[in-house]
Structure 1
Amino acid sequence: MISDATGPADPSELRVSPLELFFDLVFVFTVTQLTDSLAHHLTPSGLARVLVMLAVIWWMYDAFIWLTNALPPVTHPRRALLLLGMGGFLIISLTVPHAFEGGGWAFGWAYLLVIAVHTGLFAGAGVGPGPGPGAGAALGPVARMGLLNLLGATLVVAGGYLEGSAELLLWSAAFALQFAIPYLVDLPRFHLSADHFVERHGLVVIIAFGESVIAIGVGVGDTHLTVTLVVTAMLALAVCVGLWWAYFGQNDDEHAVHVMTALDDARRNRLAIRIYNIGHYLLLLGVILLATGAKAAVARPTEPLGTARALALATGVALFLLANTGIRRTLGLAPLRPRLLAAALALAATPLGVEVSALAQVAATAAVLLATFRYEETARGAGAAAEAVSPGGERGRRPAPRR
């Protein structure tokens, strides 16, 4: 085990490092592989497999975000182990297309490697809750979490030597265990740097949107460009932009940093699990579903998509908006109802893709998102204007300019 004596950097100075950005490139490939897997097996069983694979991968990928938040990769031993973990994730991604067709054993052993690197870095560097009495006691929760992760990896490895329903059952058990771990073990009491943590998850969402753009390009392929094809591709991009706006358009990330910074360590860590592990799992699943539908839509824009692909597109948009709304509600942000309505309308557009054409469904979905966020901006402006007027009808003081 490689360890070093350098403790966590000052949280107020923690920034996302180039190595972390490099590490994220593997996740681009992971999302691409999951999208391709779903596109080729767009059935209930194919969706179940993607649900489980995304869950077990995301659990450990997010665990590495926690890791670099506590232990920035500022020393060569840390960087070496982080790169080893990156290699493990690459192998996992390579095995995704055949994970349920005889290739699950490679997925499982690579997953075990990732867990060993993660647990070893935490334990070997002696991460604790910070200065003060009992600081070394955090090694207990780290070790217990490592053992539970190891149990999950054992289920994944064992399932990898099976196929079909038996493999899915064991991997689903690992999935269930992961969601239970935060309630079975006290989270390590290190001080979470909110700025770094929120930024890292925002970058992951950007990566997922990048896969949607790639899917549009792959759907077009070497097809001769026509006006209809270009319009469909641009509208599919507009849908991606709409979801990007839902996440980034009103500076929700800055508000999230403010909320998390105001909490004590224990509550901050619990909120981080709820919003950034569970909530972002749903966001990523929504983007994968959207990318699957968008890829099919631009391939044959004037033809009906079919039920499965039309549902994938609609469900992806709706799921992203619902998860985003849940996150905003947790953070105390508003409005919420317009996004809930937009999710319902995106689902209601499914018959257009089934009965009319891919272009019709994509255009309707883009129009729903445009109208939703236009309404939110108008309401936001009206609210700001109302706040500037005093109860007596006179305008209040003009706010001081920002420096």
Structure 2
Amino acid sequence: MTSAEPVGLRRDPKSSSRATLLELFFDVFYVAAFAQLSMELAEHSTWSGLGQGLVLLLAVWWTWSVTAIVTEFYDPRLRVIQGVVASAMFGVALMAVAVPSAYEGRGLLFASAYVGLHLVRGALLVGALRPRRAHAREERFLFWFVISGVLWLAGGFVDPAWRVGLWAGALAVDYMATALRHPTPRLGRVPLDQYNQLSVHFGERYQQIAILALGELTLMATLTFASEAHTPARAAVFLIAIATALLFWQIYVLQSNTLVDRSAHWRPRQAVRLAPYVYAGVVTGVIATSAGVELVLHEPLGPTTPTSWVALIVGGPVLFVLGRMSSEYVLLGQLPRSRVGWLVLLLGLTPVLSAQAPIVVLIVTMGVLFGITLTDARRNRHH
């Protein structure tokens, strides 16, 4: 199925790379979702709590990445595509509302919103695409979301102790089906050549959600600091949090235009297939960092306990940098040894940091990020 897609619905790769206002409005709904997820990770910062929060985070992320594919593949100015985006807004809003109690009384609400979002999108697209061979792509997606939807909804009904296992299995189905190109009975897999046509708009959309996530980090740091009693230690943590956001931005923007251009014109297939997974690491890293900052603002000078706190404070930046490095490796063939060295150093210091006050862990982590930006700048000047 290469030329069977209806021309009237397909997005013109040469059209404007700017996101529509509706797409930007859609992204705003993720501010609330990311903030809820950050607070959830901070409030339940045990190892089991982090695992539960990660499942919710990856589910919320998947709703954005799949919708971004739709507005890249189809023209977002069309009414049916606008209907898909608008319906997704309701789903994201309901998921955000359910996040704090997703493993208690609102599990079914979270699962229903997630499943409903995907099924409504699939039904709208299959209904709009004619002839039958044209909507085979969306039938594949819908088939697999029905399968994972059974697990999601079952998890909403069962005892919370079993919920995380069912939802993790459902997530595995969603992520693996996409990685395998949605193999479906009678239809087969999505043809590889359908991934070859990509516009600059795709890279721009991912840049926008990354910057939005960084905005969530600064927002939560500001709100948490404002709600706590002001002390010199908390003031220092707040300033470190803002500096960390700026360092994240500096690491992210390096070669960003080159990456967008390469994804659209040189390696579109790799970009469109790997972006959802690579940016899952980037976004998760920022939200984990935000949760870690919130914990440190509450107790900057106390003990760093439980040890899962270190996983948030240190692991967040590590995930962010690894996600960005993955983009550079896939699209540019670059794997900077300096960044690898800094990350190895930070991870090697983790046992020592576990015995330090939270503010010390945060300072050391920021120092490593600062070191990465310095070596990045030196490497950039050399090239």
Q: TM-score range by the shorter chain?
A: 0.7 to 0.9
Higher mean Cα deviation, 84-93 or 371-380?
A: 371-380
- Answering whether residue 269 of structure 2 is matched by residue 261 of structure 1, we say no
1:280 corresponds to which residue? Answer: 279
Runs of at least 5 residues in structure 1 that lack an aligned partner in the other structure: 128-134, 385-403
Secondary structure of the corresponding residue to residue 10 of structure 1 = coil
Match of 2:59 among 56, 60, 63: 56
Q: Cα deviation per residue 1:205-237 (whole Å; 9 max; x = unaligned)?
A: 111111211221233133343444333211122
Secondary structure of the corresponding residue to residue 371 of structure 2 = helix
Instruction: For residue 181 of structure 1, report the CA deviation from its aligned partner.
Output: 1.0
Q: Cα deviation per residue 1:88-119 (whole Å; 9 max; x = unaligned)?
A: 11111111111111311111221222112321
Distance in 2 (alpha carbons) for counterparts of 1:258 and 1:330 = 10
Q: Cα deviation per residue 1:147-202 (whole Å; 9 max; x = unaligned)?
A: 11121112101110113332112111111111221314333627643311111111
Distance in 2 (alpha carbons) for counterparts of 1:141 and 1:206 = 30
Residues 46, 253 of structure 1: alpha-carbon distance in 2 compared, 3 angstrom cutoff: farther
Counterparts of residues 301-312 of structure 1 (less than 5 Å)? 301-306=300-305, 307-312=307-312
Match of 1:171 among 167, 170, 188: 167
Secondary structure of the corresponding residue to residue 240 of structure 1 = helix
Q: Cα deviation per residue 1:16-67 (whole Å; 9 max; x = unaligned)?
A: 0111010011111111111111111112221121222222222232110011
Instruction: For residue 77 of structure 1, report the CA deviation from its aligned partner.
Output: 4.3
Distance in 2 (alpha carbons) for counterparts of 1:89 and 1:141 = 24
Give the alignment's TM-score, normalised by structure 1: 0.83
Secondary structure of the corresponding residue to residue 355 of structure 1 = coil
Q: Cα deviation per residue 1:118-151 (whole Å; 9 max; x = unaligned)?
A: 2133323328xxxxxxx96342232022111121
- 1:376 maps to amino acid: D
- Answering whether residue 198 of structure 2 is matched by residue 193 of structure 1, we say yes
Q: Cα deviation per residue 1:65-93 (whole Å; 9 max; x = unaligned)?
A: 01111223324443234212211111111
Give percent identity, aligned residues only.
23
1:149 corresponds to which residue? Answer: 145
- 1:13 maps to amino acid: S
- Answering whether residue 124 of structure 2 is matched by residue 121 of structure 1, we say yes
**Contact 1:70–1:191, Cα closer than 8 Å, also in 2:** no
1:346 corresponds to which residue? Answer: 346
Residues 284, 163 of structure 1: alpha-carbon distance in 2 compared, 3 angstrom cutoff: farther
1:220 corresponds to which residue? Answer: 225
Higher mean Cα deviation, 252-261 or 105-114?
A: 252-261
Distance in 2 (alpha carbons) for counterparts of 1:62 and 1:41 = 26
**Contact 2:37–2:287, Cα closer than 8 Å, also in 1:** yes
- Answering whether residue 101 of structure 2 is matched by residue 98 of structure 1, we say yes
- 1:347 maps to amino acid: L
Distance in 2 (alpha carbons) for counterparts of 1:142 and 1:77 = 14
Secondary structure of the corresponding residue to residue 221 of structure 1 = helix
Give the alignment's TM-score, normalised by structure 2: 0.87
- 1:299 maps to amino acid: H
Residues 187, 54 of structure 1: alpha-carbon distance in 2 compared, 3 angstrom cutoff: farther
1:326 corresponds to which residue? Answer: 326
Distance in 1 (alpha carbons) for counterparts of 2:260 and 2:24 = 21
Q: Could you say which structure has the larger radius of gyration? A: 1
1:82 corresponds to which residue? Answer: 85
Secondary structure of the corresponding residue to residue 105 of structure 2 = coil
Secondary structure of the corresponding residue to residue 16 of structure 1 = coil
Q: Cα deviation per residue 1:319-340 (whole Å; 9 max; x = unaligned)?
A: 2212222221112253522212
Residues 11, 254 of structure 1: alpha-carbon distance in 2 compared, 3 angstrom cutoff: same
Name the count of aligned residue pairs: 367
Relative CO higher for 1 or 2, CA cutoff 8 Å, sep ≥ 6?
2
Match of 1:137 among 133, 140, 147: 133
Q: Cα deviation per residue 1:240-294 (whole Å; 9 max; x = unaligned)?
A: 222222221x22343343244224xxxx3454222x1111112222112111111
1:207 corresponds to which residue? Answer: 212
Runs of at least 5 residues in structure 2 that lack an aligned partner in the other structure: 1-5, 184-188
2:33 corresponds to which residue? Answer: 30
